[in-house]
């Protein structure tokens, strides 16, 4: 069937048409292929950085984790429904296929770079299917040509999704390969789902190769699987991701048949850990415990299993979080969940009363492993064990921990933390003058450290005056704003002597409009004049 008059009977060879991109720029697809680890099949750390990063981001821009923009906006901001943009792109696609040339290719391609793919891709694909453009063999050759050669991520996303409408089963490996970079996993999932009669094994293979937003998308797509092997993987491993377990906990517990697994003989340590973790994370932004119909039975079964077992610090933290969540549900939903809270609370109190927690926490805090130390610190907070001095020594030894040092109601401790910061943070390298910088990335490590201190200073009038003055002169907007908030809260009686002149100079130099307004408020606020 022909749709374009005397259109070509054979697919167009787009490799003979001048590409709309600079031929010196690297193909993203080939970059990904070159950075897949031959042993585990996953993308290497070097592969995470895409060749078009310098085109997409300017210095100091907020950089999304791979797949972060599409993941966040797809879940919380909608997406995919911009029909007017989709219609515009479809018009250029039809023109391209009817009259292929370097110009028509360039027009179509350049339009793909103007908007985020997520915003228009759904109606765009519907236009392609509705008008049966997939019957034109040149659609397949065009999308595969763009996919393998494009140096631009948004055009590549569109090509992956388009290829999914006309791909063969032989293309599944191609989708899995490119989907191993999580910027493209969502689009690879769409393509796999549309192009394979039974996509589950390919989706599972892809899911095991990613661990961020890509993993989340795979889990959501496999939510209805009846494959026991996939269900077991979701239950024991699939819920783990580097974004938030809240996105995957409910789906993996329900699809993975958590209740059935816990009722089996001799549940494994891995299963028990998984149960604790998933129940802990059944809350916003994912479904909550209240949405999980089997929650009461699972909680009772878990308490029964753990009653006579030695718990790890991680499990203690999970049990605590579950009890807190049950408390919220009891307040919000009433008697039924109040009863569940009281039932679980008996087990929870028994866990807290066990001997040996202090020893386990000490061992974790003695570890050089950052994850183990963090686990020990979290467990200490559950048990109300004071470990402030541990954090002080940790920071003194060059590790992170300024936030925890400033979480104190003791003025002496706050002053010790401030004094330590003045010694360890190179304040002269921060006070370089105002810019509009967001201060993101490793180059702004010291500015980020300063954040934690400045955010706590409003509660300590007059403490950390040197830090506040440094913040006022920082190139990072949030440093300046935090310093201004501290001054506003303190009142003028606690300002450093040079503050008035610094603020008046800032009014002349400040590039950020909102920060200029805040400077004026601080100078004019009566509380600043009369504060004590």
Q: Among 76-80, 183-187, 232-236, 383-387, which is the least confidently predicted range?
A: 76-80
pLDDT of 6: 43
Residue 382 lies in a domain: no
In the listed set 205, 222, 239, which residue is the last one of a domain according to the structure?
Answer: 222
| Model pLDDT, residue 76 | 64
The band of 77, judged by pLDDT with boundaries at 50, 70 and 90, is low
For residue 497, tell me if it sits in a domain. Answer: yes
Given pLDDT bands bounded at 50, 70 and 90, which one contains residue 503?
very high
Interval 109-145: pLDDT, tens? 999 999 899 999 999 999 999 999 999 999 999 999 9
* pLDDT (mean) for 487-495: 92
pLDDT given for residue 442 in this prediction? 84
Average pLDDT over residues 91-100: 94
Give pLDDT, residue 10: 82
Banded pLDDT at 78 (limits 50, 70, 90): low
What separation, in Å, do the N-terminal and C-terminal C-alpha atoms of the chain show?
83
Average the pLDDT over 160-166 and give the result: 95
Q: Provide the pLDDT confidence category of residue 239 given band limits of 50, 70 and 90.
A: very high
Q: How confident is the model at residue 312 (pLDDT cuts 50, 70, 90)?
A: very high
Instruction: Give me the pLDDT at residue 472, please.
Output: 95
Tokens read off for 432: 């370089």
pLDDT digit string, tens, across residues 346-404? 999 999 999 999 999 999 999 989 999 999 999 999 999 999 999 999 999 999 999 99
Domain count, the chain: 2
Q: Please indicate, yes or no, if residue 163 is contained in any of the structural domains.
A: yes
pLDDT of residue 80: 54
Split at pLDDT 50, 70, 90, the class of 71 is: confident
> pLDDT-based confidence at 317, cuts 50/70/90?
very high
pLDDT of residue 1: 36
The pLDDT confidence band at residue 449, using thresholds 50, 70 and 90, is very high
- Classify residue 306: in a domain, yes or no: no
Tell me if residue 43 falls in helix, strand or coil: strand
CB 25 within 8 A of CB 33: no
Q: Is residue 231 part of a domain?
A: no
What pLDDT score does 443 carry?
A: 87
| Percent over 70 (pLDDT), the chain | 96
Query: Do the domain assignments include residue 399?
Result: no
Instruction: Provide mean pLDDT across the span 144-163.
Output: 96
d(CA 95, CA 117) in angstroms, rounded, equals 20
Q: What are the CA-CA distances from residue 484 to residues 38, 440, 444, 495, 521 (Å)?
A: 52, 20, 20, 11, 9
Tokens representing residue 110 in the block: 């350049």
Number of Cβ atoms within 10 Å of the Cβ of 65: 15
Domain that holds residue 442: 413-530
DSSP state, residue 12: P
3-state percent helix, strand, coil for the chain, nearest multiple of 5: 65, 0, 35
Average pLDDT of the residues in 276-304 = 95
Look at residue 320 and tell me if it is in a domain: no
Compute the CA torsion angle 446, 452, 453, 459 (nearest 10 deg).
160
Average pLDDT over residues 77-103: 87
pLDDT for position 5: 39
Residue where one domain finishes, among candidates 199, 222, 245:
222
Q: How far is CA 331 from CA 15, 37, 43, 339, 341, in A?
A: 64, 50, 45, 11, 10
- Say if CB 206 and CB 219 are below 8 A apart: no
Q: pLDDT confidence of 62, banded at 50, 70, 90? A: confident
64: in domain: yes
Number of neighbours of residue 261 by Cβ within 10 angstroms: 21
pTM of the full structure? 0.88
Average pLDDT, the chain: 92
Write down which residue in 207, 222, 237 finishes a domain: 222
Mean pLDDT along residues 162-184: 94
């Amino acid at each position: 069937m022909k749709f374009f008059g005397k259109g070509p009977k054979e697919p167009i060879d787009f490799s003979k048409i001048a590409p709309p991109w600079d031929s010196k720029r690297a193909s993203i697809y080939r970059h990904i292929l070159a950075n897949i680890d031959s042993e585990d099949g996953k993308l290497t750390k070097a592969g995470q950085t895409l060749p078009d990063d310098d085109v997409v981001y300017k210095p100091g821009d907020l950089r999304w984790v791979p797949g972060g923009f599409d993941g966040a906006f797809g879940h919380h901001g909608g997406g995919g429904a911009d029909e007017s943009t989709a219609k515009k792109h479809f018009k250029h696609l039809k023109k391209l296929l009817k009259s292929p040339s370097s110009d028509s290719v360039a027009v179509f391609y350049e339009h793909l770079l103007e908007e985020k793919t997520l915003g228009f891709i759904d109606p765009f694909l519907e236009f392609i299917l509705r008008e049966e453009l997939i019957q034109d063999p040149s659609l397949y050759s065009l999308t595969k040509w763009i996919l393998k050669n494009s140096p631009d991520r948004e055009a590549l996303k569109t090509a992956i999704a388009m290829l999914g409408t006309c791909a063969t089963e032989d293309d599944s490996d191609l989708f899995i390969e490119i989907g191993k970079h999580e910027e493209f996993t969502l689009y690879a999932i769409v393509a796999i789902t549309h192009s394979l009669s039974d996509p589950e094994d390919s989706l599972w293979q892809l899911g095991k190769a990613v661990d961020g937003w890509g993993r989340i998308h795979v889990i959501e797509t496999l939510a209805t699987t009846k494959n026991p092997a996939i269900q077991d993987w979701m239950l024991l491993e699939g819920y783990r991701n580097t974004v938030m377990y809240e996105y995957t906990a409910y789906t993996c517990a329900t699809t993975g048949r958590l209740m059935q697994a816990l009722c089996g003989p001799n549940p494994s340590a891995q299963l028990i850990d998984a149960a604790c973790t998933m129940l802990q994370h059944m809350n916003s932004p994912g479904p909550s415990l209240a949405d999980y119909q089997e929650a009461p039975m699972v909680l009772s079964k878990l308490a029964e299993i753990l009653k006579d077992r030695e718990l790890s610090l991680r499990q203690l933290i999970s049990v605590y979080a579950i009890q807190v969540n049950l408390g919220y549900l009891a307040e919000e939903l009433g008697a039924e969940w109040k009863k569940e809270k009281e039932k679980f609370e008996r087990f929870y109190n028994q866990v807290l009363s066990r001997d040996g927690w202090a020893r386990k926490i000490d061992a974790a805090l003695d570890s050089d492993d950052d994850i183990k130390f963090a686990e020990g610190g979290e467990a200490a907070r559950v048990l109300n064990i004071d470990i402030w001095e541990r954090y002080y020594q940790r920071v003194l030894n060059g590790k992170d921990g300024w936030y925890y040092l400033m979480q104190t109601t003791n003025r002496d401790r706050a002053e010790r933390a401030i004094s330590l910061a003045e010694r360890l943070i190179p304040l002269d390298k921060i006070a370089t003058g105002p810019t509009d910088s967001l201060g993101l990335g490793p180059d702004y490590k010291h500015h980020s450290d300063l954040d934690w201190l400045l955010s706590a200073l409003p509660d300590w009038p007059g403490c950390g005056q040197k830090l506040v003055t440094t913040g006022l002169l920082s190139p990072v907007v949030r440093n300046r704003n935090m310093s201004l908030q501290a001054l506003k809260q303190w009142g003028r009686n606690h300002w450093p002597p040079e503050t008035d002149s610094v603020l008046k100079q800032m009014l002349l130099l400040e590039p950020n409009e909102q920060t200029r307004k805040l400077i004026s408020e601080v100078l004019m606020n009566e509380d600043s004049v009369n504060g004590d």
